[in-house]
Structure 1
Amino acid sequence: FMISLVIVILAGSVLFWNGIIRVYCTSVQLGIKWRITGIICGWIPVLNLYALIKIIRIVMKEVEFETEKLELNKTRKDKNICKTRYPLLLVHGVFFRDSLFFNYWGRIPGELKKNGAVIFYGRQQSAASVKASAEELAERIRSIVNDTGCEKVNIIAHSKGGLDSRYAISCLDMDKYVASLMTINTPHRGCIFADYLLEKVPEKIRSSIADKYNNALRKLGDTNPDFIAAVTDLTASHCKAMNEIMSDAPGVYYQSVGSKMNRAGSGKFPLNIAYPLVRHFDGENDGLVSVSSAQWGEKFTMVSIDGSRGISHADVIDLNRENISGFDVREFYVSLVGDLKTRGL
């Protein structure tokens, strides 16, 4: 009996730890918070059961959601609903870079590719003036067209990337190579709070922050980062001036997407801190960009969900890889790109 009991206990322990290790290594939704909570509470009676039950619920919900998505993609695999006439060019926003190790667009590109999309990335520097970033994008667009023979691209641009793209199209003759531009939470009319901060923050502090940022990003690959120029071009005053020269190009289909947080707590740092400030100056916002500033083009799609959660500036590009109740970000982009295909783009 004792031998059998020991075997049962050992087998149970092996199964338990095998499961825990697999969950910790593979779960996307568990996050850092619950991983740490599980480790700490694992040594405390009663609390360890609470943490274990919570972890199991999170992972079971994740498995159910991902299984449904796998089945959905199986049923439409041959339809290639995201196989547009022209390839997609994903353009990142400010303070980020396109990286092989961390995709700015989260799980979105993978989902689009499963449904037939051909994807390229902007590869512009993390922080520069709109004009400088647009020049990099123009070079990238020409390279894609020349290398693939695709004739044109469909641009999907987030945040400042939308301004960069508009400048490239309107001021650098890229309209002949762009079929459509979809901006995601782009501050087309700028951010009034940015004007306020640049005015109130002392020059010495601004210069110090800029120098530290520029030096750090040079080490990560930026050739000529310019923190101040990037932030300045996001102000309402500068965007107003740029809009006077960035007229929409005939023949290019323009549309936009915007979202809003419903409270400060629905976004992660630093969006949760910025939200009240942006709301004071700009109104309803996603933690950085107001809803009114995000609207541009022939069609505007507003993303919002009931309750206190809301959709932040990061949520709308799946930066945190979070499954949000009421908003399937991957399916949202499949729908947007599917619409481009329907339009013959």
Structure 2
Amino acid sequence: MRLMRVVLAATLCAFSLLSSAAHAASEYAKTKYPIILVHGVAGTSKYFGVIDYWWQIKSDLTYYGANVYVANLNSFAGENLRGEKLLATIRTVMIQTGAAKVNLIAHSQGGLTARYAAAAMPEAIASITTIGTPHRGTHLADWIASTPTIFQDFLAGSASLAGGLLDFLVGDPLQQDPFSALRLMTQEGMANFNSQFPSAGLGPNCSTSGASVDVKNGNVQRLYSWTGSSGGTNIFDALDPLLVLGDWTIRLRGGGSNDGMVPVCSARFGQVIGTYGWNHVDEINHLFGLRGLFTADPVVVIRTHANRLKQAGV
């Protein structure tokens, strides 16, 4: 009998510990305000209507307690279109949840879209986190803008068709404007954007960190960023050759270390969390989680960041 009581007590203790651990896990990423994931250029909420742009990231955040929404924006367009679509998404999320604010976690051009929204509706934005965002432009866009017009027209036509198809397949057909997206992400285009939408998150130059918070009309917005620094990371990733070419192009044009699309220097914004051995698509855990063997797990990095937002009270 005594042995049975000991075994029973030990079982109950183990069950209690497991329950406590499960509860802690379920609350780990539970931020005060909902999280909206914002995709970049050539993106969509779900490729072909079935493959998540944010591969395994929404489900992981949800498992750990976060209230997560995924924006679906124009795949190839400037912020006059993408920004307004994100504002509509933010309003919908706030109505559905009753939340007073949202946290924006954005990849690539999505970071610029998030900045547009933060300027247009500052009272609704608790934080902006940008991942691999060209805040000061990218030499890759400069190169494309310097190519013959016939080549640019071919790329723009292809992008319009691809973007229209991507949006159609998620049941949200949207206008495409590839030339606006290209002009925006050149260094000149981003200088104009930064003049129109200034942010304390940008330092005086890209080698200097900006402020970790911005105050717009009395509304405090927390600012964070991180990026990758490699072009090719996994020989089995079919997207790597394109990013290796992008890496070389940026380096040859003086852009330095980059993720295959965006220079590390250009991606610095707000509180810089780190620079990882990823390329541009590794940052969102694609292609299907393939990345460098000893690199950080982007799913864990974003989960940890959600906990950071939770600890910051947003």
TM-score, normalising length: structure 1? 0.72
Return the structure number with greater relative CO, CA threshold 8 A, min gap 6.
Answer: 2
Deviations 1:141-183 (A, max 9, x none): 111112221111100000000001101211x2x2111100000
* Same amino acid, percent of matched pairs: 29
Once the two structures are TM-superposed, the CA of residue 196 in structure 1 deviates from its matched residue by 2.7
Counterpart contact for 1:155–1:181, Cα < 8 Å: yes
Alpha-carbon distance between aligned partners in 2 of 1:193 and 1:229, rounded to the nearest angstrom: 15
Q: Which position in structure 1 is the counterpart of 2:8?
A: none
The C-alpha deviation readout for 1:192-228, integer Å capped at 9, x for no partner, is: 23123212x1112211221232134323424211111
**Structure of greater Rg:** 1
The structure 2 residue matched to 1:318, chosen from 257, 276, 285, is: 285
**Alignment match of 1:242 (pick from 177, 193, 196):** 193
Quick check: 2:76–2:178 contact (8 Å CA) kept in 1?
Answer: yes
CA-based RMSD: 2.0
In 1, distance between residues paired with 2:86 and 2:231?
34
Number of equivalenced pairs: 264
CA separation of 1:74 and 1:227: change in aligned 2, threshold 3 A:
farther
- 2:269 maps to a residue whose letter is W
Counterparts in 2 of 1:74 and 1:260: CA distance versus 1, 3 Å: farther
- Show structure 1 runs of 5+ residues with no match: 1-72, 305-309
3-state SS, counterpart of residue 217 of structure 1: helix
Distance 1:218 1:262 in 2: 28
Higher strand share: 2
> What are the superposed Cα offsets for residues 239-263 of structure 1, whole Å, 9 maximum, x if unpaired?
0111012123411111111220176
Corresponding position: 1:191 with 2:163: no
* 1:205 pairs with one of 142, 151, 155: 151
> Is this contact kept in 2: 1:77–1:115, CA < 8 A?
no
User: In the TM superposition, what are the counterparts of 1:1-345 in structure 2 within 5 Å?
Assistant: 76-79=21-24, 80-99=27-46, 100-170=49-119, 172=120, 174-199=121-146, 201-220=147-166, 221=168, 222-248=173-199, 249-250=214-215, 251-261=220-230, 268-281=240-253, 282-297=255-270, 299-304=271-276, 310-320=277-287, 321-322=289-290, 324-345=293-314
> Structure 2: where are the runs of 5+ without partners?
1-17, 200-213
Secondary structure of the residue aligned to 2:241 is coil
Residues 159, 115 of structure 1: alpha-carbon distance in 2 compared, 3 angstrom cutoff = same
